[in-house]
Amino acid sequence: MRAVAEVAVQRAEVIPRLNDALRKQGVGGTMMVTRGILAITGYNMPELTEALAAYDAFDADNEPHGERDLGDVTLWGQDMLWSISYYDNDLRYGSDDPADADVTKRVLSVMLTSEW
């Protein structure tokens, strides 16, 4: 039983670490923005990536599973949401194991709150 608990703890630490690598450094996945984001006057991708990297407002209310895969930012006078989804390597189905980077493609999506 203890080995199962240790695996669960390791898994719980790996997922947020992989998500942080995508959000903070742009590695381990793909980032996409919606048409609503692209249409914002003053939209600037480097500024957006900087805001995502700096995001640290995770708490039990907005991030109950501790995976650091969801958040919100305000830029250029617009409220936005971002989320990280876990897909299989073909980007067709959900990943069987988001803790395994070899079988998971991460996609960080940024959208206006009105597009949620």
7-21 confidence digits (pLDDT tens): 566 778 999 999 999
Q: What is the pLDDT of residues 55-90, one digit of tens each?
A: 999 988 888 889 999 999 999 999 999 999 999 999
> What pLDDT is recorded for position 46?
97
CA 44/CA 61 separation, integer angstroms: 29
CA 59/CA 4 separation, integer angstroms: 26
Work out the pLDDT band at 5, boundaries 50, 70, 90.
low
pLDDT higher than threshold 70 for residue 106: yes
> What pLDDT is recorded for position 63?
86
Burial of 84 (0-12, 13-18, 19+ CB in 10 A): buried
Distance of CA 44 to the CA centre of its chain: 19
Of residues 87, 83, 89, the one with CA closest to residue 112: 83
Q: Is the pTM of this model over 0.85?
A: yes
CB burial of 35-68 (b: ≥16 within 10 Å; e: otherwise) equals ebbeebeeeeeeebbebbeebeeeeeeeeeeebb
Which residues on neighbouring strands pair with residue 86, listed in sequence order? Answer: 106
CA 107/CA 94 separation, integer angstroms: 11
Structure tokens at 96: 């069987």
